[in-house]
Structure 1
Amino acid sequence: MLWSVIIPVKTTQAAKTRLELPGTDRPQLALAIALDTIAAAASAETVGEVLVVTSDADVQAGVDQIDGAAWISDPGMGLNGAARAGLERATHDARVAMLGDLPALRPTDLDRALLSASAEERSFVPDAEETGTIFVAWRTPATFEPHFGSGSADKHAEAGHVRLPVPATSTLRRDVDTVEHLDAAYELGVGPRTAALLNAARARSVA
C-alpha cells in the first residue's frame, strides 16, 4: 500500500516564533526544518507522493528540488484547512496529514508507522509530549477532518482515530517548537539542511 502524505507548511516568516536561536535566522531555520521533513517523507518506501500545502515561495522552490514531492497553494484557512485541501487533492486512497517540523525524521520510522496505519481505518500518532498530533491517517477515502492544534491528540482519539503504537523514542514523534525540542532532535540526528545551519551557529559561538 502506498500513501499520499500531506504536509501543510506556514510561511517561514510566521513559522517557529518560539524558536529564537542565537546565531541563526529563524525563517531560514524554519525553511530548513520543513525541507528536511519533506525530503525524509518523500524517501520513505511506503510513500507514493508528498503534497506540500504552502504559500511560501522559498518552501515552494525547495519542494521543486525534492523528488517525489510537489506543492499546492495554501487556501488560507489555517492549519486544518490546509491539511484538508491537500488531502482532497491526493492521488492515493490511503492518505495522511503530517506536521512539517520533524527535522530528525528517518524514513524507516515513517514506514513503520504507516505499516501500522494500514491496519486501521483511521489512526493518529501523538507528539513526544502526548498532547499534540504528529500525523492523522485515513486508510481509505473519507470525509477528512483533522484536528491539529491545542489538545489535538485527545480530539483525534475522541473522533475515533486509533492511536498507533509508535514508541516515544521514534524520530517521527519529535516535532520542534522550542529550543529544547530542537536540542532533542539534534541528538537524534537532524537532516542535512538543519544540521548545516545548527553546526554553523555552534561554530560561530565558539569562535
Structure 2
Amino acid sequence: MDTPDTSGWTIIVPVKPAAVGKSRLVDVGVDREALARAIALDTIAAAAAATLVSRVIVVTDDADIGAELRREPQVEVVPEGDTRGLDGAIARGADVAGLGTARAALLGDLPALRPADLDAALELAASVERGVVVDSEATGSTLVTARAGAVWVSAFGEDSAARHRLLGCTDLAVGGDSTLRRDVDTAAHLSAAVALGIGPRTSAVLIAEAR
C-alpha cells in the first residue's frame, strides 16, 4: 500500500467582495465590510502558515483584498471575473491549481483558524480520494479536499455536508473543538469564534469599533 502524500497541498479560498459578503453580520455593531475583509485575511494567513500547505489561491474580485495579498509570496490572487457562485469560483481556482496537485477548498470565514488544525485535517485527507470537514453545526462544510489526480467537485451552500457526502466525500474525523469547524455567518458564530481566539485583523476591527 502506498504511503499517503501529506505535503504540498494547494488551498483554494473563494472570497466575495466585501460589499456583498457576510450580509448577516450587519447586526454586530461594526463596519461589516471591514469585518468581512478582516475575517477573510485572517483565514488566508492561517492557511498560508500551515506546514502542509505550499500554495494558496484566493479567488476574488475584491480589490482591497487583492492589494493586501500581493505582498504574500505564497498567495496567488485569481480574479473571479464572470464566474458565478461559490462552487464556480472554487472550480476556477482548482483549474489554476491543476489536476496533478492535492487541492482543498477552504471557506474564507474562519477567523479563529489555527494552522495546526488545518494541518491535522490535511493529514487525514491524504488517505482518501475526497474529504470534507463539517462545520460546528454539522450541516455545512468548511473544507473539501481532493487528492492529486482526482477530478474536482464541490457543492457548498445550505446543507452542503450531506451533498458533499453524495459526491463521494469522506468525513474527516477532526475534533469537535477544531477551529476549522467554526465558520462565521452570524453574530452568534462570531462570538463563538472570539471565544476560540480570533486572528489579529478581525480582532483589530472589533477593538477599533468598541472604542
TM-score normalized with structure 1 length: 0.94
Choose the corresponding residue for 1:113, options 117, 121, 125: 121
Displacement, 1:23?
Answer: 4.1
Q: What residue is the counterpart of 2:37 in the other structure?
A: 31
Q: Which residue does 1:97 correspond to in 2?
A: 105
Q: Equivalent residue for 1:190?
A: 198
1:87 pairs with one of 89, 94, 103: 94
How many pairs were matched up?
203
Name which of 15, 19, 39 aligns with 1:13.
19
C-alpha separation between the residues in 2 aligned to 1:145 and 1:72? 19
Post-superposition offset of 1:77? 1.5
Structure 1 residue corresponding to 2:163, chosen from 137, 155, 158: 155
Q: Does 2:136 correspond to 1:136?
A: no
How far is 1:160 from its partner? Answer: 1.0
Q: How far does residue 67 in structure 1 lie from its aligned partner after superposition?
A: 3.8
Q: For 1:134, what is the secondary structure of its paired residue?
A: strand
Given candidates 39, 52, 60, the residue that maps to 1:46 is 52
Match for residue 75 of structure 2?
Answer: 69
* 1:78 correspondence with 2:80: no
Structure 1 runs, 4 residues or longer, greater than 4 Å off: none
Query: Are the aligned partners of 2:183 and 2:189 in contact in 1 as well (CA < 8 Å)?
Result: yes
Write the letter of the residue equivalent to 1:146: S
Compare 76-85 and 91-100 and name the one that shifted more.
91-100
5+ residue gaps in structure 1?
none
Q: Which residue of 2 aligns with 1:3?
A: 9
The alignment's TM-score, normalised by the length of structure 2, stands at 0.93
What SS is found at the alignment partner of 1:135? strand
Contact 2:129-2:150 within 8 A present in 1 as well? no
Which of the numbers 166, 185, 188 marks the counterpart of 1:180?
188
SS of the counterpart of 1:18?
Answer: helix
User: Take 1:70 and 1:137, find their aligned partners in 2: how far apart are those partners?
Assistant: 19
RMSD: 1.2
* SS of alignment partner, residue 25 of structure 2: coil
Tell me if the contact between 2:13 and 2:57 (Cα under 8 Å) persists in the aligned partners: yes
List per-residue Cα deviations over 1:21-50 (Å, max 9, x = no partner): 454210000000000000010000000000
Counterpart of 2:105 in 1: which secondary structure? strand
Task: Confirm or deny: 8 A CA contact 1:113 1:166 kept in the other structure.
Answer: yes
Q: How far apart, CA to CA, are the structure 2 residues paired with 1:26 and 1:40? A: 21
| Partner SS for 2:103 | strand
The question of whether the paired residues in 2 share the 8 Å contact of 1:10 and 1:56 is answered with yes
Paired with 1:145 and 1:18, the residues of 2 have a C-alpha distance of 27
Pick from 157, 161, 173 the counterpart of residue 165 of structure 1: 173
